[in-house]
Structure 1
């Protein structure tokens, strides 16, 4: 049973499910359903799909995640960034509005589902770590800008296009002369209202007598109010005759059964975008899930999360939806509303299904501008203008990865942007790993501690050189270490002993061992002994399986202090000298 519950977490939390938990989950489901209906319609529009597809992607995926997911409060469904990536990938193989385009979106969901599930079964969740925080932050910021820009055409009521930011801006500029004033009169006030709702509605409701939590949840229902009011305005003023674009007929009923394409040529075109969607979606989802779980002292299993998201995406595919993942805003609402288990997601799916059955006819008169405003307000919260400055002050390398990701995403599109971000991040990592930090250390007076001679007043002796290595020795940095040690030795003609302090060395690979052997032989030829100190157990175990320890010209010491004391007295000197005196003798 324990092994089965690892893959079906519902068997774990389901045993303690009771009426109190049911009530909490039901209340949270009602609130998230109200929020998710306009979001689902809007994100489907962003993905270039009929609005009803957003509802389809918000039913079965939630049930699948409830069965296989480990987060108690993560709310799965369409999200802005994945919707943009879907539009980019599907648009590369078919025209928007065509059956082939919808087929591509469904196939993307299926491919993403299979990939995520396989990664989870193989316990490869760590691969998501290839995306560093600066890369993810840069990609999300650039995607927010692209998404907001792409929706301005719906606010203005004009036709515009473009796969990158310059193309979008140029197309918008050309179409400004055809702005529809009635569409603009809807889009701008709704956008301003939704911005105000995020910050100003809660204090106003508290002043009116609502409790803070009730006011917060009511404010999050702002998009629903915008939908209701703008539909009423369109009907009352007959704005459909004034060129205001409407959602139109939305099919009524439950999601249809869909079969993802097995066309090899289509799969060949979509597998790379599907992989990127999978990784980005997983990183976004697991970040939210871990944050919310920590607040309740719960935990999630990243590898099982891969399986849960994989099941959700495959469920979306077979029900005519497109790729989904855990959304930040709705997950926070789900958490704040008191959701206790993933069952809240399943109840939300029931609410969306009821909306698909009975409420879709009411959406006929919904202006596209209202959905566009919903998207713009949601994604602009993703744009982070503080991180570049923070990274510039903290790490120029991470700043470079962040800015490169932003620039390439804006100029070349989402897929190339994230690929370039990963590439830049890996190159910077390799560059840093190939030039690790090492320091010449001396003993802090009246202690057994050793610190960098450039940062502290320490004791050294001219015939002993202590070097602390602050990185594992691998093929990336082995040659660098060899050159570093020999260069420091050449600066000290009176040197008789070199101690490599290995307290930070967690691994020595074959290349690192080869360099240690080379250093040992070169020093021995010059009459200098090589010693190691504070070697970790697992590293020492591997060294003892080679001839290196036998051929070592010096010793392996348990502590740096013992090595320094013993070798300092090697030529009869009574003790250590202050560092400035030692340098004067070198």
Structure 2
């Protein structure tokens, strides 16, 4: 039986909790209606499917999600990946496009549920922050570019890449529709005012917190109302060929397996896995951020299950793949959602919208929806601190840049995997070349880098601290670096390797250590070890390394090694773990 966190959340549920959920659910739905329709179009689907995806999926997440405030539904990044994946197959008709979308959502749901069953919730930690930043920043540019045809009223180039879109834009501007451009400009001004001026207005009016949140986030609603009125009053859809949504069905989707086609799954497997990965990463990061504000935690494996069930329900209602929405989740949290019941309330409000309000959307210009998408994704571009990242960690900056340009040039699917591959390569590169510091004794008795502090050293002895565990990937580098350093000192008699940062050694490391012993002895240098951890000593007990080490010694600490080697005593060998 599937775990249902909502049951636990409802224990002690009170009237005040319901009021909070009711208000938060209504406010979130208020924001969701225009946004989900815009994201449906971004995915290449009719706008009403954005509304459909906010019905059963929201209820499913309310049942199985571990986050009190996460809102699942259409998301800009996922919608872009859906459009990209389906575009590669090039369906011949809108019906075929819809069928592929449904099968893609089904696969995403099954992959997420399989990851939950395998307890792969910690998988998110394997994707570095720079990779996610580079991917989302490039994706935001691709999404914005994909909406230019809507906001400028120019012909849509199906399947055009980001580079193609940008390179063709100067020539396309001459054929833009002035009425569409003016509508788009009006929408951008209203959306900008919603972000900049409405919060000021709410503050001056001393509105209650919930009303202030609703007003602050209502820019898209005002843009939709204004655009619809302008088109309807002047019949711009017929006189100026302004593209509008048109008739939206006021009926509800039905549960059906009819569109499931297993023959498509092989071709959709890789993009489905990519979408499932990004769905989980964006959702868990949003849910964790909101939960941490109230000193709570989300269960990563439970989230995988909830997202899987949510996407399966979306597929069964003929819709598309979904993820946690950053903007709507923030609104839900800020509006005071107490439990997942707020999602149920949002679903009910969307239901009312579908049944009774869809005729009002007939004259809604598609340019306004394009402007809403563009304004929604611009905050995803986070390249302003690239110089600081480069100074702090060049490897992270390289991962970000590789992911960013790979996504722009190769597309969203290959872009994320290129970033992950780059991140892994750089990780292996760092692990294969660990830091080795030459140290001496500082005034406080601790051993520190000789290049950073004024420390005490011995004229015939070198102390080297290896800042990494030793295994097959790095032993050759470590062995070579040690021999190069020893070759620089003519009067060297002793070498002390400090193992304070070594937590693991494998068979290759032991073989390397034995070679090092032989080479150093041939050079007239005695090898000593210090600060050997208990877990490493446990492994060394199964070897004869201590015998081969003689006359070298194994010291508890580097301080003890310096004391003994300074005095010239070399017969005392320590035993036991450090």
TM-score w.r.t. the length of structure 1 is 0.92
CA distance in 1 between partners of 2:323 and 2:534 (Å): 43
How far off is 1:153 after superposition? 0.9
CA distance in 2 between partners of 1:560 and 1:137 (Å): 42
How far off is 1:33 after superposition? 0.5
**1:136 partnered with 2:135:** no
How far off is 1:260 after superposition? 7.5
Q: Deviations over 1:176-234 (max 9, x none)?
A: 22222222221111112102211221102322342466323312022112212222222
Superposition pairs for residues 92-107 of structure 1, below 5 Å?
Answer: 92-95=88-91, 98-107=94-103
Secondary structure in 2 matching 1:474: coil
How far off is 1:12 after superposition? 2.6
Secondary structure in 1 matching 2:147: helix
Distance 1:355 1:509, change over 3 A: farther
Q: 2:539 aligns with which of 538, 542, 551?
A: 542
Distance 1:385 1:488, change over 3 A: closer
Distance 1:544 1:68, change over 3 A: farther
Q: Deviations over 1:525-550 (max 9, x none)?
A: 44533332223333333333444445
* Residue in structure 2 matched with residue 273 of structure 1 by the alignment: 271
* Residue in structure 2 matched with residue 564 of structure 1 by the alignment: 562
Q: 1:123 aligns with which of 106, 119, 122?
A: 119
CA distance in 2 between partners of 1:288 and 1:543 (Å): 46
Q: Deviations over 1:331-375 (max 9, x none)?
A: 111110011222212221222222222222221221111111110
Instruction: Please tell me whether the aligned partners of residues 166 and 411 of structure 1 are also in contact (alpha carbons under 8 angstroms).
Output: yes
How far off is 1:31 after superposition? 0.5
CA distance in 1 between partners of 2:258 and 2:171 (Å): 39
How far off is 1:96 after superposition? 7.7
Secondary structure in 2 matching 1:359: helix
Instruction: Please tell me whether the aligned partners of residues 49 and 96 of structure 1 are also in contact (alpha carbons under 8 angstroms).
Output: no
* Residue in structure 2 matched with residue 434 of structure 1 by the alignment: 432
Superposition pairs for residues 135-284 of structure 1, below 5 Å?
Answer: 135-161=131-157, 162-211=159-208, 214-241=211-238, 242-259=240-257, 263-284=261-282
How far off is 1:128 after superposition? 2.6
CA distance in 1 between partners of 2:509 and 2:313 (Å): 48
CA distance in 1 between partners of 2:474 and 2:536 (Å): 17
CA distance in 2 between partners of 1:539 and 1:355 (Å): 66
How far off is 1:326 after superposition? 0.9
Secondary structure in 2 matching 1:381: helix
Q: 1:69 aligns with which of 57, 65, 68?
A: 65
Superposition pairs for residues 364-403 of structure 1, below 5 Å?
Answer: 364-403=362-401
How far off is 1:112 after superposition? 1.1
Q: 1:318 aligns with which of 316, 319, 323?
A: 316
Q: Deviations over 1:283-339 (max 9, x none)?
A: 111111111111100011222222221121112111112111111111111110011
CA distance in 1 between partners of 2:56 and 2:564 (Å): 71
- In structure 2, stretches of 5+ residues that fail to align are 571-578
Instruction: Please tell me whether the aligned partners of residues 64 and 306 of structure 2 are also in contact (alpha carbons under 8 angstroms).
Output: yes
CA distance in 2 between partners of 1:508 and 1:260 (Å): 57
Secondary structure in 2 matching 1:442: strand
CA distance in 1 between partners of 2:117 and 2:410 (Å): 34
Structure 1 vs Structure 2 CA RMSD: 2.1
CA distance in 2 between partners of 1:215 and 1:96 (Å): 47
- In structure 1, stretches of 5+ residues that fail to align are 573-586
* Residue in structure 2 matched with residue 577 of structure 1 by the alignment: none
Instruction: Please tell me whether the aligned partners of residues 498 and 531 of structure 1 are also in contact (alpha carbons under 8 angstroms).
Output: yes
Distance 1:263 1:318, change over 3 A: closer
* Residue in structure 1 matched with residue 408 of structure 2 by the alignment: 410
Distance 1:524 1:168, change over 3 A: same
Distance 1:556 1:417, change over 3 A: same
Instruction: Please tell me whether the aligned partners of residues 463 and 568 of structure 1 are also in contact (alpha carbons under 8 angstroms).
Output: no
Secondary structure in 2 matching 1:15: coil
Secondary structure in 1 matching 2:503: coil
CA distance in 2 between partners of 1:151 and 1:52 (Å): 18
Instruction: Please tell me whether the aligned partners of residues 464 and 568 of structure 1 are also in contact (alpha carbons under 8 angstroms).
Output: no
